[in-house]
Amino acid sequence: MLPTEHQRRAYLDALGIDVWVPRDAAEPEPDIADAEPVPESADWDTLRDAVAGCTRCALCESRTQTVFGVGNPDADWMIIGEAPGAEEDRRGEPFVGRAGKLLDEMLRAVGQGRDRAFIANILKCRPPNNRDPKPDESAACRAYLERQIEMVAPKIILAVGRIAAQLLLDSDAPVGRMRGSLHHLGDIPLVVTYHPAYLLRSPTQKRKAWDDLCLAQRVIEGARA
Ligand code: URA
């Protein structure tokens, strides 16, 4: 079977090749304005099904499966990363590669294993070649994450990495400037830290990530006091 235009573009995108497509020759992109809105009252099963069948952006053409999120739906800690990588796309679970193992260790160090926290990503589908999410992709996925945040109602959100922090806080500041202080998403406290993949490359920064986790822990303890 011949590849669709979306598949061809996703493939060229994965190779980092820009293609010029005449406006009238382009296959229509999935129109997110026409996509079913996420019902405000969607429960976990409804939301999970909506994500599993999502065609709001072109990433649906290249994914193996969606990566919904994992963990305790009543968690105190909600961890939000960028997007699934190759291993996550294969297994359908966020943060299961090398970076995920480091994230697990970091969370265990503050008493929040994978089963106690809730872990999700800005995007539920893997961008080809692990490129950064495009604005239309994160916009298309936003309602799913918002409903997840609403249902978990965490005491703290930990945004891991530049992309998650910038998109959640609508900022273009670097992580180094956003970490180390307390932010809010609505009325939920939010702490920014380095992405574990970056920490694998720059282990000397692990100390700062530890400080960020301690800040998050102090916020929760302050809320309990
Ligand atoms: N990086 C992320 O930001 N999320 C994952 O799920 C895996 C790697």
Tell me: the pLDDT tens digits for 134-156?
999 999 999 999 999 999 999 99
Residue 101 alpha carbon to ligand 1 centre in Å: 11
pLDDT value for 192: 98
Residue 16: pLDDT over 50: no
Q: Which atom of ligand 1 is nearest to the CA of 88?
A: 6
pLDDT value for 14: 42
Tell me: the pLDDT tens digits for 176-222?
999 999 999 999 999 999 999 999 999 999 999 999 999 999 999 98
Kindly list the protein residues whose Cβ atom lies closer than 6 A to any atom of ligand 1. Answer: 81-85, 88, 94-95, 99-100, 121, 161
| SS3 at position 113 | coil
Q: Which atom of ligand 1 is nearest to the CA of 99?
A: 8
Cα gap 115→117, rounded to integer Å:
6
Question: Given pLDDT bands bounded at 50, 70 and 90, which one contains residue 29?
Answer: low
Residue 22 alpha carbon to ligand 1 centre in Å: 34
Which two tokens mark 81? 């990363």
Residues ≥6 apart with Cβ < 8 Å to 20: none
Q: Average pLDDT for residues 87-109, to the nearest whole number? A: 97
Residue 76: pLDDT over 70: yes
Residues ≥6 apart with Cβ < 8 Å to 3: 11
Return the best residue to mutate from 51, 89, 95 for the ligand 1 pocket (most ligand atoms within 8 A of CB). 95
Residue 140, phi then psi, degrees to nearest 5: -65, -30
**Helix, strand, coil tally for the chain in percent (to 5):** 45, 10, 40
Give me the sign of the Cα torsion angle 41, 216, 196, 107.
Answer: negative
Cα gap 167→53, rounded to integer Å:
24
Residue 38 alpha carbon to ligand 1 centre in Å: 23
Residue 98 alpha carbon to ligand 1 centre in Å: 10
Residue 79 alpha carbon to ligand 1 centre in Å: 10
